[in-house]
Structure formats: structure tokens, C-alpha cells
Amino acid sequence: MEFGYSMESHARGVGAAEHHDAFREFFQQVQICEDGGMDFVWISEHHFNPERSFGSASMVVAGAVAARTERIKIGTAIVVLPTHNPLHVAEETAVLDHLSNGRFELGVGRSGGVGAYRGFNMDYSESQPRFAECLEVVKRALSNERFSYEGEFYKYEDVVMAPRPITRPHPKIRWAVNSSATFAMAGQLGLPVFCGVLQLKTAELAELLASYDEAKEKAGFNTPRDAHLRIPIYVSDTMDDALTAPEEGFSRRYTSASQILVRMVASGQANYLDERAERIDALGNLDWEAIHTTEKAIVGTPDVVIDKIKEIGDALQLSGMVLEFNAGERLPEDKINRSLELFCEKVAPAFA
């Protein structure tokens, strides 16, 4: 199983000075991951929400990480594809493939943040068809030196793609899926996926991943399941600290997820409104006890964390985990760093 640090680009304030210091903290943690043997650094993308994150340029940051590291793989989790020109995304992916010597993986999705689309003056109800077209353009551009495309939103005629990626046919593209329909769509395309525990229980995820496998097999893709689970985690030297330090942040993470769903449903622009509405009550009723004692988070000393990772990994037949070491953006820097160090030193070796 591969493990990656989900870099949310959190800030401890909304001013330029706080953001500048947050970049220092960010790259210190990248170095801990590089030195400690973490498999991946996953870089988030958020727009117009400085209280949560200043990570508005994931591809730029990926280039900086590539320049500062030699071993660790670098991925985006995720590029909000419909808000970008897909040809730019393809070009940047190819460049990053070279700069990282083949260590880059493109994670894409639509995001549930209606506010990001409003900020870009885009209609969120168009996000699904835009995503489908963007994904097709990115794949064609990375796979061919020249290509043409005509769709509802994008049109390109005899475009020359340069540079060509060094990874053939192209760097891996991983789709963040959440609804029942998108699991099946990703399977039909044979794409590896991200999934998460914010809105779904392990039993629900198991069923959705089974539908993904079925769709993939029907489409003629006979490769093993490649699914990475995104999940909050905190590793500590003591159980007392493990059960107290992350409480505020992790609880806030689930409250925020519920609020995002409320705004999405209220907008009337989201796909699968009924399915999303059903998840609001479940998220709203979560307390800290329900979070840390279930699959909603992994907290504890290294031995406890190892056991829970094995339990969840076996239940879902995962190929990897995307670990949120500061879910909810409330842990101090020293706590995050210690949690990272303990994971690299004492947890990850159990899965080598």
C-alpha cells in the first residue's frame, strides 16, 4: 500500500505574512516526507477560501516540490478540472513529468465547492459535462503530438502538443469520485480513483468500489483495483494526546463537509441532489466519539494506527491512502511534524 501526505496548504492567518510563513511550514513538511520515506505528496487546490487554504495554484507548487525533492512522488489532489483550460493542464502535466523525472501523477475532479465556480463566474450545474470534456482533451493532448477536438465547451483544431511527456502513454490520471454514478464512470474509463470517508461509510465505499470494478471489467480493463482512500489521521506518542489534540480540527472538518453539501444542495446546481441531501443529516450528527471510533478518522499511537489502517485497507482492498495530517486546519506545526515523523518511522514500515 502507498501512503501520501495530503498537503492542504493551510494558513494560520489570511494575510500575506501568514501565507509566506505557511509556505515555509509546507516545505518543511515536504522534507520530512521526502526524508522519512513517504510515497507521495498530494497537493490540494482551493479557491477563494483563505480561512481553509491558500492553495490556489497546485501545479505551480508541484513544480517547486519537484525541484526540492529527488525521491517522493508528487500528485495533485485535486486539480478542479472544469475551472481550467484543459490544454493548459495537459501542457503543465507534461512539463511536470519532465521536471520530476516521471514522479508526477495528475489527480482530477470536479470539487463540491460551489463557491469556487461562482468565483470564476461559472455555472456549477455545467461542471459534470465540462469535466468530461476536459478529461477527454487532457488525455488526447498527452497521448498525441497533434490532435483536434470539438465539443460543447471546447474546440481545438490540429493543436501541436509540446513538450511530449516522458512517461508513456502519459502520466497516471486519477479521478476523485464520490457519487455512485462517478464510480461507474471512472471504471468505464479504466482510471484509478480517489475516494473518501467524509461522506461515505466503509460499507458504502465497499459497494461503490465493487461497482467500479464491475464497470472496469465490462469495459475490458483487467488491471487490479487502484483506489486511494483520503482520510484524516493523527499519530501520537500517547493515546491521551491522540484523543484530544485533533478533536477540534477533525470535528471542524466534518462540520465543514456538511456545510459544503448544504450549500451545494441549496444552489440547486449540483448533480445527484437526492444522494447528496441524504448525506447531510449523517454528517451533521457526527460527534468526536463517532469520528475517532469509526472509519471517519485514524487516531492513536503507532500500534493502534497500524491496526486501523490494516482493518480499513483490507475491507476496501486499497492500493493507497491519502492522509490528512491536519484535517480541519487546527493542529499546531509541532504536532503535525511529530505525527508525520511517527508515521514514517513506526507506521509505514509495517506495510513495506
315 within 8 A of 321, measured Cβ to Cβ:
no
Which residue shows C-alpha cell 501542457? 91
Cα-flanking dihedrals φ and ψ of residue 191, to 5°?
-90, 140
Query: Length of the chain in residues, anyone?
Result: 352
Q: What's the pLDDT at 49?
A: 85
Phi/psi of residue 230, nearest 5 degrees: -90, 130
Query: What's the confidence (pLDDT) of residue 205?
Result: 97
C-alpha cell at 235: 499519530
pLDDT of residue 267: 66
* Amino acid code (one letter) for 313: G
CATH of domain 2-351: 3.20.20.30
pTM for this entry: 0.94
> pLDDT value at position 276?
63
Q: What is the mean pLDDT of the chain?
A: 93
3-state DSSP helix/strand/coil % of the chain, to nearest 5: 50, 15, 35
pLDDT (0 to 100) of residue 14: 87
* Phi, psi for residue 72 in degrees, rounded to 5: -65, 145
Within the chain, residue ranges assigned H as helices are 16-36, 58-68, 86-99, 114-119, 127-143, 180-189, 202-218, 239-242, 247-267, 273-284, 288-292, 302-316, 333-342
Taking only the tens place, the pLDDT of each residue in 324-334 is 999 999 999 99
Blockwise average pLDDT, block size 10, the chain, 352 residues: 94 90 96 98 92 90 98 97 97 98 97 84 91 97 95 97 96 95 96 94 96 98 97 98 98 86 68 64 83 97 98 97 96 98 98 94
The residue ranges of every structural domain in the chain are 2-351
* pLDDT attached to residue 271: 61
- At 158 the pLDDT is 96
Q: Residue for cell digits 513495506? A: 352
Residue 222 has a pLDDT of: 95
Would you state the pLDDT for residue 270?
Answer: 58
